[in-house]
Structure 1
Amino acid sequence: MRPLFFVLGGLLVVVGGVWTFQGLGYLEGSPMTGVDTWAMIGPVVAGLGVALVIVAARRR
């Protein structure tokens, strides 16, 4: 179960990072580009991913 949490946490970090950069306008080519909502949602999703990885690392 731990490897699944690591993979899901890492995926959330990557998706959150992409959403953040799209919301800030650094990644273009999407309707999400330049939309402030995604610039706020992205770091939250990435933070949840980091928290999931930390929880998975602390489990036995």
Structure 2
Amino acid sequence: MKGWVLVTIGAVCILIGGVWALQGMGVIGGSFMTDSPTWLVIGLVVAVAGLVAIIVGARGLRRPA
């Protein structure tokens, strides 16, 4: 069960981090985050953390119970 939770949280983090990074780059507009390098960095960090969570969660899914 723990593996699926990490994979789900990781996927959500990648999506949110991606949106924040794109807003920080100015690709997605209409927010206070638009064209802000701070949000680009925050978004990339959150996306990488999500990727790590998916990798850890997937490893937990492959182990026999």
| 1:10 alignment counterpart | 11
Q: What is the aligned-residue RMSD (CA, Å)?
A: 0.8
TM norm structure 2: 0.87
Q: Does 1:27 align with 2:28?
A: yes
Question: Which structure 1 residue ranges, 5 or more long, are not aligned?
Answer: none
TM norm structure 1: 0.93
Letter in 2 for 1:9: G
> What fraction of aligned residue pairs are identical, expressed as a percent?
42
Question: Equivalents in 1 of 2:27, 2:55: separation in Å?
Answer: 28
Alignment length (residue pairs): 60
